[in-house]
Structure 1
Amino acid sequence: MSLVAYEDSDSETETGKTEAPDASGRQTNQLSSPVSCVQHFAPRSTESGCELHPAGSSGRSGWSRVYEGPLEHLAQNNNTDLAPPYCQRGYSGHAALSVAYKNYEQASSSSTNSGSGVSQKRAHTDSTTAIKGIRPYIPKRLRQENSNKPEKEESDQRGSSDCDVKLNVSGEQTFRKISELIKPYLGSKYKVTEVPKSLIFCMSKHSGPVNEIQWCPVREQSHMLLSASMDKTVKVWDAVDTGCCLKTYSCHSCAVRAARWSSCGRRILTGGFDSVLHLTDVETGAMEMLYQLWKGKQIFSTKTEFRISALKFHPTESNVFICGGFSPEVKAWDLRTSKVLRVYKAAVQQTLDILFLPEGREFLTSTDAVSRDSADRTIIAWDFQSAAKISNQIFHERYTCPSLTLHPKEPVFVAQTNGNYMALFSAQRPYRINKKKRYEGHKVEGFALGCEFSPDGTLLVTGSSDGKVFFYNYHTSRIIRTLSAHKDACVSAIFHPVLPSLLATCDWAGEIKVWQ
């Protein structure tokens, strides 16, 4: 192997300042995401955690195919300000990506013109195995750019790396841990749910209203709580042990309306008012997703034709989800191909919520369609495979239904209505309403209030526009108790899937609380 000296190269003493590649041939500390250590003091806990903030971006424009160039051109720019969306070709505000694409095109043209008489410089490509004593060639221009960076920025990067290492070594905030509070309940069935009484954690890191919260569906990792907010961020919390924010994802440029865990608990699907869908890896974050993308692995990120308000994964096909929003159409996507599988067309303006019925062969959509005398098309039943309407005459009262929830054991579902009550329906055709049961007493008043059954199916819980949480007996439809949880409208209240009587609530002011 021979080394070639170029006219714009520096001496060995200057080259020695460059970092040595690791075993994979990549520069160390090139793709680590920015990390800032923040100490949190949760009630009944003095543990400290780290909040990770992958860099966000705004003002993106232009969508094209995924970049397929080698990762080394990206790593040489030593720029950590890279963030989703990952399928964008070029957008303003990120000089690093434009330089990477330029280098990639220069390398391609160099290989094409190698047979001509014009002398061309060869683009360096690191080998997969580092050779001892030989440093890779880095263009002088890039070395000068790196050397001109302020020392403060370098120290911040070093501090971020130290914090990240400390985070992983300590094991206190890692995503794969199993909470000591959850372990005793993993081998047994869920016990009877009781109404929570005391406040455990109050988490207020969001600067805008919280639209949705969800516990991780994997029982061993159900200490994690997902939240989507109008402040354009998605957060993952340790809502069982410490009440700390584990990570913040800022990949959207507008409010995040919907966020859902994947069935494996490793990924988060998000959609918002920027009409963009993102699938984010929880453990590695955005930068690692970008790295995996350049290695050739499929990462889902796409722009839709409408603002997104509802997302639901298929209960049996983990790579399929349904997306709805400010559009008369609802679409089913496949993450493996990044393509639309089916389109469900309804003569409505907006889809408010989506609910899969048992086994996933049918699903329901609640819409904003309300006529003067009745509310046909307010709830529509669809056949998932054929995209055909099964019924649009399910609910006949003049109220929209902002949310739907399925009973965990019985073939029934509940619809939250803007008439300040919840209605009970059969989950089997013809989806008749139960006129003998009506859960009323709370206030909706136009808020997209969620409702949910307890894991044992005995309680029905909902938030209220006055900040309270209402607990109903499922069988008698009577109010068991009310909880004064928030000052602003309580948007959602959900029970923990493993720990009995543990409840998480969120409100329109951005607060998330955990009760027991």
Structure 2
Amino acid sequence: MNSLVAYESSDSETDNDKSEEVNFLQRKDDFVHSKFQCQSVLPTVTGLESSRCGFELKVASTGSSNKEYNWRSTPNYAQRDLRVTPRPPEMSLSDETYFQFSKNNYKNGLDLMQKSDRIPAKMVPSAQKRLFQDSMAAAQNIKPYIPKRLRQKEVTYESKDSTEVLNSEKNHTPPEEHQLSLLSRISDFIKPYLENQCKTSDIPKRLVFHISQHKGPVTTIEWCPVQQHSHLLLSASMDKSVKIWDAIETGRCLKSYLCHSGAVRDAQWSLCGRQILSGGFDSMLHLTDIETAKQIISIHNGCQITRLAFNPENQNVFLSGGFSSTVKAWDTRNCQVVNEYNAGIQQTLDILFLPGGKEFLTSTDAVSRDSADRTIIAWDFQTSAKISNQIFHERYTIPCLAVHPKESVFVAQTNGNYMVLFSTQRPYRMNKRKRYEGHKVEGYAVGCEFSPDGTLIATGSADGTVYFYNYLNSKLIHTLPAHEQACINVSFHPVHPSIIATCDWSGEIKVWQ
């Protein structure tokens, strides 16, 4: 049995208010399904007067659990009743939420009962009266229940100043050391050149970046072999440091690795571009993760290191040579020597893998009385057997070797102030018709390199100038006054056709376009 509610209107009500009451009772069936529904939880008291609302509410208590409320405001609807359907318990708010009509505003109260957003009300006489807006704000501040399964997914990030606990489903900002990822982006400057496979190399003419943070001679520079991340430039110096630079957009140092206790003679990218192999005069070999700056392996080579080279077909194996008569092949998975190549020489100046990775060349400073016997030696990588040691017959040492990107030839830099071509096929004959001369070596380990399209050969010089030669006719095309001291190395960008990097004996690095 439903409850009956009786209201007695006060004398101050106008006729317009009464007409609104009649319209409201005519829609009594709709009120049950309206957005605002009252719960029949009023206390069993004999009378309740509300001077603020402008009407009198009387409650008749019966012996049963159900209660009857009679509406006796005017004779016109004295016999009519109002049936109120209570809301389900699961749709109710907590007992601390109350709603109160405005003072002397019975009309707005009726509108509120019709237009509210299905929020149940619990009218307790002893409760403190609040405004409707305050009650809505209180309802919005109610915190939802979070299941234990979701609470266990919270992730804690510790910083130097404080520890913040953030929900794993929300967006969070990790500490600064996690934000820097060298391989997480592609430079917008080189994106247009990644899809263009037919690029003609141009001679650079203007200086883009002048970097002078190294405090000792820069011994080698190399662009990242992964084309998407070729904005990264690796440099090794005799100031015991290895650095990675953003040499395309900003020119700033991104990472600096100080894992060596002596001068770093050589550093190489791994084939995947995620590790750096370095070696120097402290006789240590370090394979470093570029993101975390942690050493994956650290090996004592047994002698001072001058040159390193990854096998192009297996990045787990690399060669190391230095002030020893033996070149060693190392496996990074077990840090063991898998092969040795004994040449009976004093020092290894350079190591070059031929296409395919089955053969490699070494250049030495050993010179015989009549010819440069054993100056260039060809090796079988698997069997460690000498293929040939009678390749170069002139009495000059070879500080640098470079292979052509498209043709079966390689070039050798000599201390006779010229470069000469050889075939990569056995018996590695020398091309006597082509000789690239004009620059100066004068005892420095001056490097040389082919352009990505193979049309140019660039080399440094002891006078600080960069020389560009035409590969086909061996003519000097252009000279670039790059440095004041000896230019040690030149490196063509693997993607952009007109960018090169140079370094010198004073510790400067320059990027040209």
Q: Same fold (TM over 0.5)?
A: yes
User: 1:304: Cα distance to partner?
Assistant: 1.2
1:181 corresponds in structure 2 to 189
Matches within 5 A, 1:161-240: 165-166=175-176, 169=179, 174-240=182-248
2:476 corresponds in structure 1 to 479
Matches of 2:485 and 2:434, distance apart in 1: 28
1:495 corresponds in structure 2 to 492
User: 1:26: Cα distance to partner?
Assistant: 11
User: 1:165: Cα distance to partner?
Assistant: 3.7
Which letter does structure 2 place at the counterpart of 1:470? Answer: Y
Matches of 1:23 and 1:275, distance apart in 2: 47
User: 1:187: Cα distance to partner?
Assistant: 1.6
Matches of 2:496 and 2:299, distance apart in 1: 36
CA pair 373-182 structure 1, distance change in 2 beyond 3 A: same
Q: Judge conservation of contact 1:190–1:455 (CA < 8 Å) in 2.
A: no
Which letter does structure 2 place at the counterpart of 1:196? Answer: P
1:406 corresponds in structure 2 to 403
CA pair 443-239 structure 1, distance change in 2 beyond 3 A: same
Determine which of 252, 259, 270 is the counterpart of 2:267. Answer: 259
Give SS of 1:358's match: coil
Matches within 5 A, 1:426-465: 426-465=423-462
Matches within 5 A, 1:386-397: 386-397=383-394
2:68 corresponds in structure 1 to none
User: 1:27: Cα distance to partner?
Assistant: 10
Give SS of 1:243's match: coil
User: 1:185: Cα distance to partner?
Assistant: 1.3
Which letter does structure 1 place at the counterpart of 2:245? Answer: W
User: 1:497: Cα distance to partner?
Assistant: 0.1
Matches of 2:322 and 2:157, distance apart in 1: 43
- Say if 2:359 is the partner of 1:362: yes
Give SS of 1:465's match: coil
User: 1:175: Cα distance to partner?
Assistant: 3.5
Matches of 1:29 and 1:418, distance apart in 2: 55
Which of 1 and 2 has higher RCO (CA within 8 Å, sep 6+)? 1
User: 1:174: Cα distance to partner?
Assistant: 3.8
Which letter does structure 2 place at the counterpart of 1:351? Answer: T
Matches of 2:450 and 2:333, distance apart in 1: 32
Determine which of 409, 413, 417 is the counterpart of 1:416. Answer: 413
2:16 corresponds in structure 1 to none
CA pair 24-417 structure 1, distance change in 2 beyond 3 A: farther
Post-superposition Cα deviations, 1:71-90, rounded to whole Å, max 9, x if no partner, equal: xxxxxxxxxxxxxxxxxxxx
Q: Judge conservation of contact 1:252–1:274 (CA < 8 Å) in 2.
A: yes
1:371 corresponds in structure 2 to 368
Q: Judge conservation of contact 2:157–2:175 (CA < 8 Å) in 1.
A: no
- Say if 2:323 is the partner of 1:326: yes
Which letter does structure 2 place at the counterpart of 1:364? Answer: L
Matches of 1:277 and 1:257, distance apart in 2: 11
Identity %: 64
Q: Judge conservation of contact 2:157–2:174 (CA < 8 Å) in 1.
A: no
User: 1:24: Cα distance to partner?
Assistant: 12
Give SS of 2:228's match: helix
Q: Judge conservation of contact 2:417–2:441 (CA < 8 Å) in 1.
A: yes
- The two structures have a TM-score, normalised by structure 2, of 0.66
- Say if 2:477 is the partner of 1:469: no
Matches of 2:155 and 2:328, distance apart in 1: 42
2:348 corresponds in structure 1 to 351
Post-superposition Cα deviations, 1:63-121, rounded to whole Å, max 9, x if no partner, equal: xxxxxxxxxxxxxxxxxxxxxxxxxxxxxxxxxxxxxxxxxxxxxxxxxxxxxxxxxxx
CA pair 28-366 structure 1, distance change in 2 beyond 3 A: same
Matches of 1:301 and 1:375, distance apart in 2: 36
Matches of 2:153 and 2:493, distance apart in 1: 43
Q: Judge conservation of contact 1:332–1:340 (CA < 8 Å) in 2.
A: yes
Post-superposition Cα deviations, 1:258-316, rounded to whole Å, max 9, x if no partner, equal: 10000110000000000000000001113xx5xxxxxxxxx311101100000000011
| Deviant stretches of 4+, over 2 Å | 22-30, 163-169, 173-176
Unaligned runs of 5+ in 2: 1-151, 166-172
Matches of 2:280 and 2:366, distance apart in 1: 21
Q: Judge conservation of contact 2:311–2:353 (CA < 8 Å) in 1.
A: yes
User: 1:23: Cα distance to partner?
Assistant: 9.2
Matches within 5 A, 1:34-113: none
Bigger-Rg structure (1/2): 2
Aligned residues: 351
Post-superposition Cα deviations, 1:369-426, rounded to whole Å, max 9, x if no partner, equal: 0112110100000000000000000000000000000000000000000000001000
Matches of 1:23 and 1:421, distance apart in 2: 66
Unaligned runs of 5+ in 1: 1-21, 31-129, 131-162, 290-298
- Say if 2:308 is the partner of 1:311: yes
Determine which of 258, 278, 284 is the counterpart of 1:276. Answer: 284
CA pair 434-229 structure 1, distance change in 2 beyond 3 A: same
Give SS of 2:193's match: helix
Matches of 2:216 and 2:284, distance apart in 1: 19
Give SS of 1:423's match: strand
CA pair 502-329 structure 1, distance change in 2 beyond 3 A: same
Q: Judge conservation of contact 1:399–1:417 (CA < 8 Å) in 2.
A: yes
CA pair 24-465 structure 1, distance change in 2 beyond 3 A: farther
Which letter does structure 1 place at the counterpart of 2:459? Answer: T
Give SS of 2:315's match: coil
Matches within 5 A, 1:114-153: none
CA pair 370-166 structure 1, distance change in 2 beyond 3 A: same
CA pair 464-333 structure 1, distance change in 2 beyond 3 A: same
